[in-house]
């Protein structure tokens, strides 16, 4: 089995090749929107969510080919959320994935439309997912649409907006990230499992793994905002503190945040026992995310 870094590189390449073939060409008219969609998608990015989809399919004994449409769909939904989150009316960010944000390049109106178009395109691509015995296309669509809707991602963003300028408790912060970061990571994993006709027990294990891994990922994201440079992160470092945003370090302190990330990662790993050796990539990814520097 190859080293994790080689594995991640190879998976990023597979995902990028699939994204390139699924997305409308940049010259398709009206070209501006298709260029803008590709600008944000191919700006870099770790491709964590699609890699989790592929690794979850593998853990459940499935094929990578079948998992590529949902893998691309989750990456596109993630990218749409970043484009909209960076808008002046949301977090107002100038830099993302090491490049000027979409609205800085294409203007605010076009960035709104780019996010809308990406989200819509994600459903078009998701519809290419081959159904399995336990998971007809309806199940797959519901998993994805509920995750992206007002009960999860948008709901989390609403809590986030409403929490601005307030002193949030740790429980309130957890509630935001359960609905945003953890929800999308969980759906990424579950969709991978569905393409492999996962048993209910396997799907439950992926759900628990995703919940704790997602929260751990967000704790680390908050820590990195304080400890890393803008250059390393590819987005404005220190932004959370500058706008007085509630984060794990601001609520429980940096040291306790590191311990919390370790605790959540350990908890996530415990869910993987049902897969035996087949989940070794998921395990490696969880360890890697805990130690990441960007
Ligand atoms: C519709 C505006 C809107 C939002 C929906 C999910 C969500 C709600 C907003 C996402 C905005 C955001 C910055 C969430 C935090 C999640 C997070 C840690 C994003 C960064 O993920 P990485 O590090 O980024 O995987 P790359 O660039 O590597 O893909």
For the chain, the domain total comes to: 1
Q: In whole angstroms, give the CA distance from residue 62 to residue 59.
A: 7
Residues 6+ apart with CB under 8 A from 211: 178, 182, 186, 268
Residue 178 Cβ contacting ligand 1 at under 6 Å? no
For the CA of 156, the closest atom of ligand 1 is 8
List alpha helices for the chain, DSSP H: 4-22, 31-41, 48-59, 64-85, 102-106, 108-126, 137-148, 153-163, 170-177, 183-195, 200-227, 230-233, 239-242, 248-252, 254-270, 280-291
Compute, in angstroms, the gap from residue 133 CA to the centroid of ligand 1: 32
Compute, in angstroms, the gap from residue 178 CA to the centroid of ligand 1: 13
For the CA of 78, the closest atom of ligand 1 is 6
List alpha helices for 197-253, DSSP H: 200-227, 230-233, 239-242, 248-252
pTM of structure: 0.97
Compute, in angstroms, the gap from residue 236 CA to the centroid of ligand 1: 14
CA torsion 234-189-24-13 (nearest 10°) is 60
Nearest CA to ligand 1 atom 13: 82
Residue 261 Cβ contacting ligand 1 at under 6 Å? no
- What CATH number does residue 285 fall under? 1.10.600.10
Domain residues for the domain of 96 are: 2-290
Q: Which residue has the tokens 């459940």?
A: 60
Residue 14 Cβ contacting ligand 1 at under 6 Å? no
Nearest CA to ligand 1 atom 9: 81
pLDDT given at position 227? 96
Quick one: which of 174, 172, 252 has its CA closest to 216?
A: 174
Q: In whole angstroms, give the CA distance from residue 28 to residue 230.
A: 34
Probe residue for ligand 1, chosen from 85, 119, 248 as the CB with the greatest number of ligand atoms within 8 Å = 85
pLDDT given at position 2? 65
CA torsion 11-15-18-20 (nearest 10°) is -130
Quick one: which of 61, 119, 135, 48 has its CA closest to 85?
A: 119
pLDDT given at position 244? 87
For the CA of 294, the closest atom of ligand 1 is 23
pLDDT given at position 194? 98
Compute, in angstroms, the gap from residue 79 CA to the centroid of ligand 1: 7
Residue 81 Cβ contacting ligand 1 at under 6 Å? yes
pLDDT given at position 1? 52
Q: How many CA atoms lie within 13 A of 16 on its CB side?
A: 14
pLDDT given at position 102? 98
Q: How far is CA 61 from CA 6, 70, 249, 275, in A?
A: 21, 16, 39, 9
Q: Which residues of the chain have pLDDT under 50?
A: none
């Amino acid at each position: 089995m190859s080293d994790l870094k080689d594995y991640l590189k190879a998976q990023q390449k597979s995902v990028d090749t699939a994204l390139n073939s699924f997305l409308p060409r940049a010259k398709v008219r009206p070209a501006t929107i298709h260029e803008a969609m590709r600008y944000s998608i191919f700006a870099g990015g770790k491709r964590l969510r699609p890699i989790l989809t592929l690794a979850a399919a593998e853990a459940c004994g499935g094929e990578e080919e079948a998992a590529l449409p949902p893998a691309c769909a989750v990456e596109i939904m993630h990218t749409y959320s970043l484009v909209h989150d960076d808008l002046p009316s949301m977090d107002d960010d100038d830099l993302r994935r090491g490049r000027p944000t979409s609205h800085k390049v294409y203007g605010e109106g076009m960035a709104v439309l780019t996010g809308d178009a990406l989200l819509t395109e994600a459903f078009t691509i998701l519809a290419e997912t081959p159904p399995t015995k336990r998971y007809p296309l309806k199940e797959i669509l519901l998993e994805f649409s509920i995750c992206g809707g007002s009960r999860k991602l948008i709901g989390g963003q609403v809590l986030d907006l409403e929490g601005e300028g307030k002193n949030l408790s740790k429980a309130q912060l957890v509630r935001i990230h359960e609905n945003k970061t953890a929800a999308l990571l969980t759906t990424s994993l579950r969709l991978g499992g569905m393409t492999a006709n996962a048993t209910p027990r396997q799907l439950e294990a992926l759900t628990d793994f995703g919940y704790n891994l997602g929260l751990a990922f967000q704790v680390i994201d908050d820590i990195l905002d304080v400890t890393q440079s803008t250059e390393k992160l590819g987005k404005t470092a220190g932004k959370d503190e500058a706008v007085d945003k509630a984060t794990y370090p601001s609520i429980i302190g940096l040291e306790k945040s590191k311990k919390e990330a370790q605790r959540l990662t350990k908890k996530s790993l415990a869910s993987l026992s049902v897969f035996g050796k087949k989940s070794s990539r998921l395990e490696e990814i969880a360890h890697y995310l805990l130690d990441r520097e960007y």
